[in-house]
Homo-oligomer: A and B are copies of this chain.
Amino acid sequence: MVRSPNDYRTDVWVDWCPGCGNYGILAALYKAFAELQLDPTNTVIVSGIGCSGKTPHFVKANGVHTLHGRAIAFATGIKVANPNLTVIVHGGDGDLLGIGLGHFIALGRKNVDIKVMLHDNRVYGLTKGQASPTLSKGLKTKSLPQANIINSLNPIALALVSGYTFVARGYSMLSEHLKNLIVAAIKHKGSAFIDILQPCITYNNIHTPEYYRKRVYMLEDEGWDPNVREGEAQNTLLKAIQKSLESDERIPIGIFYRNQYNQTLEEAYGQRTPSYSKTLLPWQKICKEDGSPIVDEKLFQKLFKEYIVKVKKG
Interface membership of A81, Cβ < 8 A: no
Interface size class on chain A is: 35 or more
- Contact flag A150-B265 (CB < 8 Å), given A241-B238, A241-B241, A245-B234: yes
A102 an interface residue at 8 Å Cβ cutoff? yes
- The minimal Cβ–Cβ distance linking A273 to chain B, given in whole angstroms, is 10
Distance in angstroms from A160 CB to nearest chain B CB is: 8
Which B residues are in CB contact (< 8 Å) with A238? Answer: 241-242, 245
Q: Is A3's CB within 8 Å of the partner chain B?
A: no
The answer to whether A109 and B150 touch across the interface, beta carbons within 8 angstroms, is yes
Whole-angstrom distance between the Cβ of A197 and the nearest chain B Cβ: 19
As a 0/1 sequence over residues 96 to 133 of chain A, the CB contacts with chain B under 8 angstroms (1 = contact) are: 00111110011011110000000000000000000001
Rounded to whole Å, the gap between the CB of A270 and the closest CB of chain B is: 11
Task: Please name the 9 residue pairs, one residue from A and one from B, whose CB atoms are nearest each other, closest first.
Answer: A101-B102, A102-B102, A109-B151, A157-B161, A149-B268, A151-B163, A161-B161, A109-B150, A110-B150
- A interface residues with partner B (beta carbon < 8 Å): 98-102, 105-106, 108-111, 133, 146, 149-154, 157-158, 161-163, 234, 237-238, 241-242, 245, 262, 265, 268-269, 272
